[in-house]
Amino acid sequence: MNNNNKVILGILALILAFGSVVPGNVAAAGKKDDTKSQKTAKAQKPTAPIVIEGDELSFSDETGDVYAKGKVVVTNQEQTIETEKMEGNTKRSEVWIKDQFTFTEPDAKLDGSNMIYNYDSRTGTMEAVKGKVDREIVSGKNVYVFPDEVIIHNGTATRCPAKIPDYHVSAEKIEIWPGKKMIAYNAKFWIKNTVIFTLPKYQKSLKKGEEGESDFPSVGYDNDDGLRITQYLEYPLSDKLSAYADIGYYSKRGFKPIFGLTDREQDYSWSLFQGDFKDANNYWITKEPELSFQYHPRRLGTLPVTYQFTASYGKWTDSAKSSWHQDYQLYFTRDPIQLNKSLTLNLGTGVEHIRESYDNSSNTVYKFDTLLDKQWSPRFNTWAGYHFVSNNTSLFSYNSVSNSRELFAGFTYKIDSVNTIGINRTYNMQTHTYEDLDYTWYRNLHCWQATLTYRAKQKETRFDISLTRW
């Protein structure tokens, strides 16, 4: 059989499997030079065109069996399969691959063997798999793929891209819904070759902006609280409802855990929780408990603007007082404005309303924020910004704004592949005085990040080691 006949057989196979062929493709195939080894067969449905490429193509009209060999590429919309040899059946809309393959779609790229895939149901099975799903680097003995889910049996997951990861989670079964969540059953948490703890079931959110703390412990130190060790854990109770714990121990304050429930719906989420919370300025508050509602960020019509609404109600207690605290906030964010290739402007504005039972106070706060970022080179970055709040009077020090009008500026400079230094400075426009001056050293520890900050005004040293946010 000559090369032209092989191409035509491949085209006929796809006609029976997937619908009519574009006439131009048949003509082009017949005019191919016989000296060229790679041939292409194309078929098209109105909404799901299929392309099969290979050095050799053959098809049985009677059985529907199709065969491709040599640099085989199967493409269906944004999905591709690459291999050296493929078998299939057009009547069942299935392909079978015994040898190595690469399976790619928008949220996943997997390498493996022994694959069976059905294009009608968009489901398949594969073995000895390694690759990536969402941002998780995964491996598994047996893997099942579905239109919106990947299930891994006897597998691992990590975000450390090293050949031998610094950390990973292994489990009997891992379910991943890209862009939504991951659940691991009978999970073991490893640092290098050592299991540090196990859980019967573990969940983490994969939604952008909604991810919890690190899968693994975070270690830190500051002058006020001493040595700190924290760990975030989440346990699914149903498809959308989960229980979580943010466990923290501080050498100068003791055990400071946070426990709660969270429900993630498509357009909103809510949480009920209690525990001890610390802000960036080392102010503490006890919430006993608090109910929080978050309407997920949405576009404002066709404008390049995103808005978000949050509301919370709960009992706040510090060392001197207790109050039933209400907080409602609506905030608008403009899409980043690219002034040129290296200069970006970010804008945001909103309103917040706060009520306190302790003194029957009621405050409405208007906010405006702007940030100008300049990337001078791959090593050197600078920024400058402005914060404004119309009323910075607050009953609690926790998460309060000390300056109603504030300028800030800073830079980072990458010394080498593992070391970066940075300086950040703030200026109070009401008192016309310079305030915070923070010096920071960032150290890349492979898949971990170490940060050492000296806050000159507070005469405070902070040190943190946590997983790198890939």
Q: Write the CATH number for 181.
A: 2.60.450.10
State the pLDDT at residue 156: 96
Q: Does the pLDDT of residue 347 top 50, yes or no?
A: yes
In a domain, 371, yes or no: yes
Query: Is 162 within the bounds of a domain?
Result: yes
Q: Do 267 and 187 reside in the same domain of the chain?
A: no
**Same domain membership, residue 288 and residue 349:** yes
DSSP string over 15-61 = HHHH-PPPHHHHHHHHT--TT---EEEEE--SS--EEEEESEEEE-T
- Which element (helix H / strand E) includes 389? strand 380-389
Percent of the chain with pLDDT over 70: 88
Q: Are residues 133 and 277 in the same domain?
A: no
Choosing from 171, 194, 210, the residue where a domain stops is 210
Residue at a domain's end among 156, 184, 210 = 210
pLDDT band at 63 (very low <50, low <70, confident <90, very high): confident
pLDDT score, position 49: 63
pLDDT confidence tier of residue 210, bands split at 50, 70 and 90: low
- Counting the structural domains of the chain, the total is 2
Q: Can you tell me whether residue 346 is helix, strand or coil?
A: strand
CATH number, position 225: 2.40.160.50
Q: Are residues 200 and 316 in the same domain?
A: no
pTM summary value: 0.80
**340-346 contact pairs (CB < 8 A, 24+):** 342/374, 342/375, 342/376, 343/372, 343/373, 343/374, 343/375, 344/372, 344/373, 344/374, 345/370, 345/371, 345/372, 345/373, 346/370, 346/371, 346/372, 346/373
Whether the bond between 289 and the residue before it is cis, its omega within 30 degrees of 0, is yes
Percent of the chain topping pLDDT 90: 71
For 76, 83, 92, 109, 433, the CA distances from 121, given in Å and listed in that order, are: 13, 21, 11, 19, 66
Distance CA 218, CA 216 (A): 7
> Which single residue is written with the structure tokens 């002034």?
339
Domain span holding position 437: 211-467
Residue 126: C-alpha distances to residues 37, 130, 363 (Å): 29, 10, 59
List pLDDT tens digits, range 170-199.
999 999 999 889 999 999 999 988 999 999
Nearest-angstrom CA–CA distance, 172 and 152: 8
Q: Are residues 314 and 397 in the same domain?
A: yes
Residue 132 φ then ψ, to 5°: -140, 135
In the predicted model, what is the mean pLDDT of residues 110-123?
93
pLDDT value at 25 more than 60:
no
Position 12 confidence tier, pLDDT thresholds 50, 70, 90: very low
Q: Name the most confidently modeled range: 33-47, 60-74, 349-363.
A: 349-363
Does the residue 66 lie in any domain?
Answer: no
Query: How many Å apart are CA 214 and CA 453, to the nearest integer?
Result: 21
Angle between helices 23-30 and 3-18 (to 10 degrees): 160
Decide if pLDDT at 202 tops 50. yes
Instruction: State the pLDDT confidence band at 280, using cuts at 50, 70 and 90.
Output: confident
For the segment 410-445, what is each residue's pLDDT rounded down to a tens digit? 999 999 999 999 999 999 998 999 989 999 999 999
Are 14 and 49 in contact by the 8 Å Cβ rule? The answer is no
Residues 6+ away with beta carbon under 8 Å from 152:
129, 138, 139, 140, 142, 143, 171, 173, 174, 175, 176
Maximum CA pair distance of the chain?
Answer: 91
Same domain, 426 and 323: yes
Question: What pLDDT does residue 214 have?
Answer: 65
140 in Cβ contact with 155 (< 8 Å): yes
Query: How does DSSP assign 112-174, residue by residue?
Result: EEEEEEETTTTEEEEEEEEEEETTEEEEEEEEEEETTEEEEEEEEEES--SSS-SEEEEEEEE
Q: Which domain-ending residue is among 210, 227, 253?
A: 210
pLDDT category of residue 211 using cuts at 50, 70 and 90: low
Return mean pLDDT, the chain.
87
Shared-domain flag, residues 418 and 299? yes
Instruction: Please check whether residue 164 lies inside any domain of the structure.
Output: yes
The band of 213, judged by pLDDT with boundaries at 50, 70 and 90, is: low
Q: Is the pLDDT of residue 31 over 80?
A: no
Q: Is residue 16 part of a domain?
A: no
CA distance 429 to 376: 28
Question: Are residues 194 and 257 located together in one domain of the fold?
Answer: no
Average pLDDT over residues 291-305: 95
pLDDT in tens, 310-330: 999 999 999 999 999 999 999
Euclidean distance between CA atoms 214 and 220, whole angstroms: 14
Same domain for 221 and 169: no
- Please give the structure tokens belonging to residue 216: 């693994």
Range scoring the smallest mean pLDDT among 91-95, 137-141, 335-339: 91-95
- pLDDT confidence of 85, banded at 50, 70, 90? very high
* Segment 446-462 mean pLDDT: 93
How far the first Cα of the chain sits from its last, in Å, is: 52
What pLDDT, on a 0 to 100 scale, did the predictor assign at position 185?
96
Residue 336 has pLDDT above 90, yes or no: yes
Q: Considering only 84-98, 331-345, 346-360, 372-386, which range has the smallest mean pLDDT?
A: 84-98
User: Does 427 lie in the same domain as 403?
Assistant: yes
Burial letters for 26-57: b for 16+ Cβ neighbours within 10 Å, e otherwise? Answer: beebeeeeeeeeebbbbbbeeeebbbbbbbbb
User: How confident is the model at residue 28, as a pLDDT?
Assistant: 30
Tell me: do 269 and 368 sit in the same domain.
yes
Query: Do residues 183 and 174 touch, judged by C-beta distance below 8 A?
Result: yes
pLDDT of residue 21: 35
pLDDT at position 18: 44
* Residue 199 bridge partners (DSSP): 187
Domain check: are 267 and 372 in the same one?
A: yes
Q: Is the pLDDT of residue 262 over 70?
A: yes
pLDDT at position 392: 81
Strand 136-146 and strand 123-133: the pairing is antiparallel
pLDDT (average), residues 10-32: 36
Is-contact 164 184, C-beta < 8 A? no
